[in-house]
Amino acid sequence: MEQTLAFVKSNENRFLEELFELLRIPSVSADTKYKPEVARAAEFIRTSLEKAGAEKVEICPTSGHPIVYGEKIIDPKLPTVIVYGHYDVQPADPVNLWTTPPFEPQVRDGKIYARGSCDDKGQVFMHIKAFESMMKTNSLPCNVRFMIEGEEEVGSSNLGAWVRENKNRLKGDVILISDTSIVANDTPSIEVGLRGLSYVQVEVTGPNRDLHSGVYGGAVSNPIQVLCDMIASMKDKENRITIPGFYDDVLELTSDERIELNKTPFNLNEYKKDLGIDEVRGETGYTTLERTGIRPTFELNGIWGGYTGEGSKTVLPSQAFAKISMRLVPHQTTDKITEIFTKHFTSIAPKGVKVKVTPHHGGEPVVTPTDSVAFKAASKAMETTFGKKPIPTRGGGSIPIVALFEKELGLKSVLMGFGLDSDLIHSPNEHYGIFNFMKGIETIPLFFKNFADMSAKG
Ligand code: BES
Ligand code: MN
Ligand code: MN
């Protein structure tokens, strides 16, 4: 292990240079314009895996963006870790709010600024470099398979089918994922829950064409007004979601579990200050940690309609639209929530308009075990590198494929992420600490070692 860590330390600069090369590729999965760049990022991952010593490395095409697979099976009798991550990134817009261009990585104040630096290229690259370090020092203690996809940020719509078709090469004991956050650099933590997601677009149509707002206004339903009224009715005074049945399946935590959850270090004043808000808002009776960790939500992601260009145009628009995300908690399911939302939204539409609901991607919530060998191996590895035992936390984000791995492969995941909630993932000026990047590369080999040792014992 000492040799591996020495290798990591002496290669820090090269690791960073190589990561910057990956960050320079604008692999935005949502925008077809970047399709060749997404392919280039897949190629880069493939080459990196090969150079690191992986075998059977392959770019697997899907009907969307490709999945990169690679493996190193040293002994079929040893346990196998499946590393999952994604090389695609969110769009960089609004680009003008970036201090330096999103695809020209720059280090400022010990942090790497670039789209994807934290989510998830930087964290995927930690795994490739940790693997390389174990290979170069002859210390890989168990088998490993890599599955790095290019469609996480658009809902992993082709990964499910690929996993089903490739079950034979996905034999393993655990899925290891670094795509989440820790509480702080001096407070290590491991997320043990991810929320699910139901994402829909709604469309309200009034008159059959845009109208003059003077000639017709006041006499015809305005779709934007109707949409706003309908959306406003989706929450009551307590900020509870009014869709009938929405909370039916929600797993309520016991008061002991809630006390435990609220022990996570959290400073409300700093939280508000960081966001530039003077008050938080959410479901009555729950703390901010609970509102983002264990409660379901209904959030507007975008709303548009009518004239939004320069100056003014007097128009009563024919249509209005909104994109809505609902985060789900155990035991809610995407299909049921999408169904009851659609039913409710359609039923509250007033006469004079038509509404249409289009479901987008979704994903089921998950909780991961804290009593598994893999969790203990991760916990011990982080305790060694951070000098503090990590605390289990509940994350607010979603990685929909985690539930699918469980269903299709019968495998649980360990969410050993190294980002910070303040890394601005999905926002302008996304960054990732060099401290976190290096900490990850040091912790991963320890995880492998602990996992191999602990599996052998028990
Ligand atoms: N890495 C994030 C999820 C995440 C971030 C989990 C921080 C926990 C802490 C992932 O790339 C992501 O952004 N997921 C999307 C879902 C997807 C279907 C677009 C999300 O959570 O919005
Ligand atoms: Mn991610
Ligand atoms: Mn993301």
pLDDT, tens only, 240-277: 999 999 999 999 999 999 999 999 999 999 999 999 99
- Which atom of ligand 1 lies at the shortest distance from residue 119's CA? 1
Residue nearest to atom 15 of ligand 1 (CA): 398
- Which atom of ligand 1 lies at the shortest distance from residue 156's CA? 18
Give the dihedral sign, CA 72/49/149/372: positive
Can you tell me which residue has the tokens 């009715």? 233
Report pLDDT for 361. 86
- Which atom of ligand 1 lies at the shortest distance from residue 362's CA? 18
Measure 342 CA to ligand 2 centroid, in angstroms: 28
Cα separation of 85 and 126, whole Å? 11
Q: What band does 458 get if pLDDT is binned at 50, 70 and 90?
A: low
Cα separation of 135 and 126, whole Å? 14
Residue 223 Cβ contacting ligand 1 at under 6 Å: no
Residue 105 Cβ contacting ligand 1 at under 6 Å: no
Nearest ligand, measured from the Cα of 395: 1
Architecture, CATH, for domain 196-250+296-363: 2-Layer Sandwich (3.30)
pLDDT digits (tens, 9 = 90+) for 326-355: 999 999 999 999 999 999 999 999 999 999
Report pLDDT for 173. 98
Environment of ion ligand 2 (residues, CB < 5 A): 119-120, 179
Q: What band does 387 get if pLDDT is binned at 50, 70 and 90?
A: very high
Catalytic residue, from 71, 120, 149, 152: name it: 152
- Which atom of ligand 1 lies at the shortest distance from residue 363's CA? 18
Query: What's the 3-state SS for the chain?
Result: CHHHHHHHHHCHHHHHHHHHHHHCCCCECCCHHHHHHHHHHHHHHHHHHHHHCCEEEEEECCCCCCEEEEEECCCCCCCEEEEEEECCECCCCCHHHCCCCCCCCEEECCEEECCCCCCCHHHHHHHHHHHHHHHHCCCCCCEEEEEEECCHHHCCCCHHHHHHHCHHHHCCCEEEECCCEECECCECEEECEECEEEEEEEEEECCCCCEECCCCCCCCCCHHHHHHHHHHCCECCCCCECCCCCCCCCCCCCHHHHHHHCCCCCCHHHHHHHHCCCCCCCCCCCCHHHHHHCCCEEEEEEEEECCCCCCCCCEECCEEEEEEEEEECCCCCHHHHHHHHHHHHHHCCCCCCEEEEEEEEEECCEECCCCCHHHHHHHHHHHHHHCCCCEEECCCCCCCHHHHHHHHHCCCEEECCCEEHHHCCCCCCCEEEHHHHHHHHHHHHHHHHHHHHHHHHC
Q: Ligand 1: which of 425, 430, 436 to mutate, judged by most atoms within 8 Å of the beta carbon? A: 425
Residue 400 Cβ contacting ligand 1 at under 6 Å: yes
Q: Class for domain 2-194+366-457, per CATH?
A: alpha beta
Residue 397 Cβ contacting ligand 1 at under 6 Å: yes
Nearest ligand, measured from the Cα of 401: 1
Please indicate whether residue 2 is annotated as part of the active site: no
Residue 119 Cβ contacting ligand 1 at under 6 Å: yes
pLDDT digits (tens, 9 = 90+) for 171-207: 999 999 999 999 999 999 999 999 999 999 999 999 9
Give the mean pLDDT of the chain. 97
Q: What's this model's pTM, rounded to 2 decimal places? A: 0.95
Report pLDDT for 454. 97
Residue nearest to atom 1 of ligand 1 (CA): 179
pLDDT digits (tens, 9 = 90+) for 36-80: 999 999 999 999 999 999 999 999 999 999 999 999 999 999 999
Cα separation of 138 and 445, whole Å? 12
Mean pLDDT of 393-408: 95
Nearest ligand, measured from the Cα of 403: 1
Catalytic residue, from 18, 37, 71, 88: name it: 88
Domain ranges of the chain: 2-194+366-457, 196-250+296-363
Residue nearest to atom 20 of ligand 1 (CA): 398
Please indicate whether residue 278 is annotated as part of the active site: no
Can you tell me which residue has the tokens 């035991």? 331
- Picking from 333, 327, 402, 326, the residue whose alpha carbon sits closest to that of residue 369 is 402
pLDDT digits (tens, 9 = 90+) for 209-246: 999 999 999 999 999 999 999 999 999 999 999 999 99
Residue nearest to atom 6 of ligand 1 (CA): 397
Q: Do domains 2-194+366-457 and 196-250+296-363 have the same CATH topology?
A: no
Nearest ligand, measured from the Cα of 423: 1
pLDDT digits (tens, 9 = 90+) for 269-323: 999 999 999 999 999 999 999 999 999 999 999 999 999 999 999 999 999 999 9
Residue 442 Cβ contacting ligand 1 at under 6 Å: no
Report pLDDT for 324. 98
Measure 329 CA to ligand 1 centroid, in angstroms: 15
- Which atom of ligand 1 lies at the shortest distance from residue 154's CA? 19
Residue nearest to atom 9 of ligand 1 (CA): 180
Measure 38 CA to ligand 1 centroid, in angstroms: 18
